[in-house]
Amino acid sequence: MIRRVLVVGAGQMGAGIAQVAAEAGRDVVLVDVSEARLQGGRAQIDASLARLTKKGTLSQADAQAALARITTSVELAAGQGAELAIEAIVEEREAKRRLLAELDRLMAAPAILASNTSTLPITDLAAATGRPDRVVGMHFMNPPPVMALIEVVAGLTTSEETVRAVSDEAAAYGKTPVRVRDMAGFVSNRVLMPMLNEAVYCLMEGIADAEGIDAVMRLGMNHPLGPLALADLIGLDTCLAILEILQRELGDPKYRPCPLWRSYVQAGYLGRKSGRGFYTYAQVPPEKRARS
């Protein structure tokens, strides 16, 4: 029975995951490296809960109760008593392996360690711990409070009991768990990222401007968000990291990231989270503009 959840990383995914778990009645400890990051996470949760109450999907009282169940800390040890830890830190193999090894030392023996990695093989992350049967992928979609899917990734060493426990937990969050095999990118990013990459090549080659490319995919393919607007939502640094991991892990040059990703990331244009990516976010978001 999972009552307390530790979420590590208070960025756009971690904050959203903390909110979803708290809405489902879990006591949540949200950890990040600095108070400033935690403050950013809390502001994101406040804004998201306010949107849900305004829409009428959540009552004021339930939003307040969810908020009261979330505590924040810069110390991992604050989450020691949790039955489930979900890491949502940067998409870097070494950083995640280091964190999982630390969680393995800190958390009680039966606790499950889940990773929200977009691409990294779970078997490799699990091998950094002494409990590889209790390490699993719980891949939330962005933004977690809105999106209905959680990919549940079973590594080679993940036990059936662990897969069942996190699938039940996903269902308790009101999400649909879909079990996938542990192969870089799973299903979601294996299919999505080559499309986003191709859209960036179209931009680099001047086939259309950003708004044109997105309009083709929204109006022609019925996608709710164009690929470049979606890349801005995901984070261009995260997209670049995912493509590099796909290329390295699967060894196929078809995943080679378009060089433009790197230039944007080098310039600090990371998408919505930095205020600028393929679009600038002081402006009206592209999917809300009149072009049709």
Catalytic residues: 118, 139, 151, 189
Using CB under 6 A, which of the segments 3-11, 78-86, 211-219, 253-261 binds ligand NAD? 3-11
- Enumerate residues 87-126 that contact ligand NAD by CB under 6 A: 88-91, 95, 99, 116-118
Q: Kindly report each contact of residues 258-265 with a partner whose C-beta sits within 8 Å and lies 24 or more positions away, as own/partner.
A: 258/197, 258/200, 258/201, 258/204, 259/204, 260/200, 260/201, 260/203, 260/204, 261/197, 261/200, 261/236, 264/236, 265/236, 265/237, 265/240
Q: How far is the CB of 244 from ligand NAD (least distance, A)?
A: 12
Segment near ligand NAD (CB under 6 A); pick from 25-33, 51-59, 177-185, 193-201 = 25-33
Residues 118, 285: Cα–Cα separation, whole Å: 25
**Angle at alpha carbon of residue 43, lines to 41 and 45, rounded to 5°:** 70
Residues numbered 264-283 forming contacts with ligand NAD, rule: CB under 6 A: 273
Output the six-digit token pair for 258: 């378009």
Residues 36-95 that bind ligand NAD (CB under 6 A): 37, 88-91, 95
- Closest distance between ligand NAD and the C-beta of residue 89, in Å? 4
Residue 127 as a binder of ligand NAD (CB under 6 A): the answer is no
Rounded Cα distance between 217 and 230, Å, is 11
Does residue 115 contact residue 143 with C-beta atoms inside 8 Å? no
Contact positions with ligand NAD (CB under 6 A) in 201-260: 234-235, 238
**Rule CB under 6 A: which residues touch ligand NAD?**
8-14, 31-33, 37, 88-91, 95, 99, 116-118, 140, 142, 234-235, 238, 273
